[in-house]
Chain A
Amino acid sequence: MFLSNLIGFTCSWTPEASLNKVLLFAGDPKADLAYERQYEQQTYHVIPEVIKNFLQYFHKTISDLIDQKVYELQSNRVSSESIEQKIYEIQDVYENSWNKLTDRFFKTSPWPEAEGIASLVGNDAVFLILYKELYYRHIYAKVSMHQLYDNMWLKPAPFPPQFQSFSQYRCKTAKKSEEEIEFLRNNPKIWNVHSVLNVLHSLVDKSNINRQLEVYTSGGDPESVAGEYGRHSLYKMLGYFSLVGLLRLHSLLGDYYQAIKVLENIELNKKSMYSRVPECQITTYYYVGFAYLMMRRYQDAIRVFANILLYIQRTRNMFQRSTYKYEMINKQNEQMHGLLAIALTMYPMRIDESIHTQLREKYGDKMLRMQKGDLQVFEELFSFACPKFLSPVVPNYDNVHPNYHKEPFQQQLKVFAEEVQQQAQLSTIRSFLKLYTTMPVAKLAGFLDMSEQEFRIQLLVFKHKMKNLVWTSGISALDGEFQSASEVDFYIDKDMIHIADTKVARRYGDFFIRQIHKFEEVSRFTKFKTAVEL
């Protein structure tokens, strides 16, 4: 089975034929099954001329748009406005044409299958993927054109979400009908992990993206190693976005090491043509930050979250509020604030003042409770902010208990909760340490209501947990050195503990600069208002 999967993918770009017949984009799988059975008889065998013309025109326009976008990204031009404009125009045209044609020809049946129209569009694999998206969306009567462009980067990435919702659906067996269970049992290939991995790895391999990135970051010319497909900018981008897809998939399966490893040729902090797709940047940083958090690399997690939250703050105005994109970014923004709150509680350190203020506004109360060791708050925040974990395995339908689909989440939560518990005393100890410079160990133990022996053990735990692996240089985000930049440090000499506190002078300058800007805005606005009213 494995080998046939592999052969299938190396020979063609599209996911195996069996997938085409069943499901599988977004929406309710139950409806898919019902639909499939109902409309099997009505597929078109002869494609109307007007449809053929439409598809060819459609294909050409999309290709032109993609080429231009890629050209702009490569030549460092930030003209997203004109692209947005173009998309809007196309959106308009197709919303009309597509809907009219659907009404006329495909009111009660699906559009022609992708295989049927492939020759019309020169077997352009990428267009076919986009077409299939529309094909299935039509099935749910949800044709939304503006996602066409988004799909360029979302295409590899959504495999995880659709796979995700299918995987969770598959596990919620308690509510299934006999029929559905039988169907699922007979078709284990539906969205199995291998398929998704195969597609992502294929895209990565065909585009030779890793080799290209290696050369790119060492200042060379990626074209020299791109290969036949990789040279085409589109495949390059697909390769890159597939790496992000792999980052997501591994994180969802709890393999944080591999999640970060797949990005080893991508320098996260460096601006590149790839980092110009905001949703991609944000998603990448979310998963990288989360992986660092689970690996107990708090300092790296904090740095990553603070960076991207600042980025979102600055680019917020660029997004239209009503889009699906905006909602997704908003959600991840909230989640990352939650994760940052957790990380800062475990590992207090200085971060950008504006982010810190935002954080205190949203989570000040929760952070106080976490510092006091309230495990429940930790778990609630974790549940809200964590990714939707998956199981890679098909359940045994005969013998499943109702909460099977929650198990992957429970597993990750357990590891997290254990870590929190191991560090339960550290916050309190830290706050006491900050109060003194020198003291007998026994006395401090007494203040903390602990035996001296237990206190000494906790001090060891403190040193142990505060020592993080921290990225300092090099391209791979996995690299790092052990560092301890805790706000408070100490050593023990026989019976005395000697404590050092890292004092920070209040950042007045920052505060004043911000206030001055605010006043400037206000005064400009009132001048404008006054002028209008006169």
Chain B
Amino acid sequence: MASTFEQMRANVGKLLRGIDRYNPENLTTLERYVETQARENAYDLEANLAVLKLYQFNPAYFQTTVTSQVLLKALTNLPHTDFTLCKCMIDQTHQEERPIRQILYLGNLLETCHFQSFWTSLEENRELIDGITGFEDSVRKYTQLKVWLNKFGWTENEDGQIFVYNQEESIKPKNIVEKIDFESVSSIMATSQ
């Protein structure tokens, strides 16, 4: 049985095509989609940004809860810069409201790698992440990876696989020797005839 998220995804995809993505009548569907992502630990950046944009165009429809969920989901996708993209589309006034302000603060802690402070802060505000399945796991994965990468010089590719190389080979001084291509030299040869 396909999850609700999967079922909604195709439908939402259609809504986001062309001029329909600016139709405020689609907000309810998109908001439910955000809620579904939170519940089922799924993620769709483009749809979430579309919600923020509709709020931008139609401030009367702005919802703090949905915006908070969008921001928290963005954090679970670190190190992608989704969180920054969201910030660019939420206006100042709303950024100062609770709990958005708290979430922005947590985001800042993660971006500046102050992981201890982050976990402490989260403990004090557990209700923030209510309903976001898998939030802590995703963040933990990001933070621990950062620490490991530092220690062992491993790198991660897009699929989350970790490549372990011989450290000496991967991180060592590179001497880049200059190559002059024929074209640049040919013009000189022509003029010196």
Contact = CB atoms under 8 A, between A and B. Distances in A.
- A, B bound: yes
Interface of A: 2, 6, 193-194, 197-198, 201-202, 204-205, 253-258, 261, 294-297, 392-393, 407, 410-412, 414-415, 418-419, 422, 457-461, 463-464, 467, 469, 481-482, 484, 489-493, 498, 500-510, 513, 516-517, 520
Contacts of A2: 22-25
Interface in B27-51: 45-46, 49
Contacts of B156: 482
A140 to B, nearest CB: 30
Interface stretch (B6-14, B80-88, B119-127): B80-88
Interface of B: 18-19, 22-25, 45-46, 49, 53, 56-57, 59, 79-81, 84-85, 87-89, 91-92, 108, 111-114, 146-147, 149-153, 155-158, 167, 171-178, 180, 184-185, 187-188, 191
7 contacts: A258-B49, A294-B84, A295-B85, A393-B56, A457-B114, A458-B113, A463-B149
Interface of B is mostly: helix
B146 A463 contact: yes
Contact of A197 (B22, B113, B147, B173): B22
B88 A412 contact: yes
B22 A194 contact: yes
Contacts of B24: 2
Contact of A422 (B19, B53, B112, B187): B112
Contact of B81 (A295, A392, A410, A510): A295
Nearest to A454: B114
Contacts of A294: 84, 88
A411 B150 contact: no
A295 B147 CA distance: 24
A103 to B, nearest CB: 44
A377 B178 CA distance: 34
A407 B92 contact: yes
A491 B59 contact: no
Given A256-B88, A500-B172, A457 B187 contact: no
A243 B114 CA distance: 41
Given A460-B147, A517-B187, 16 more contacts: A2-B24, A205-B18, A253-B56, A254-B88, A257-B49, A258-B53, A407-B91, A414-B92, A458-B113, A467-B79, A481-B158, A484-B155, A500-B174, A509-B178, A510-B180, A510-B184
Contacts of B185: 513
A229 to B, nearest CB: 16
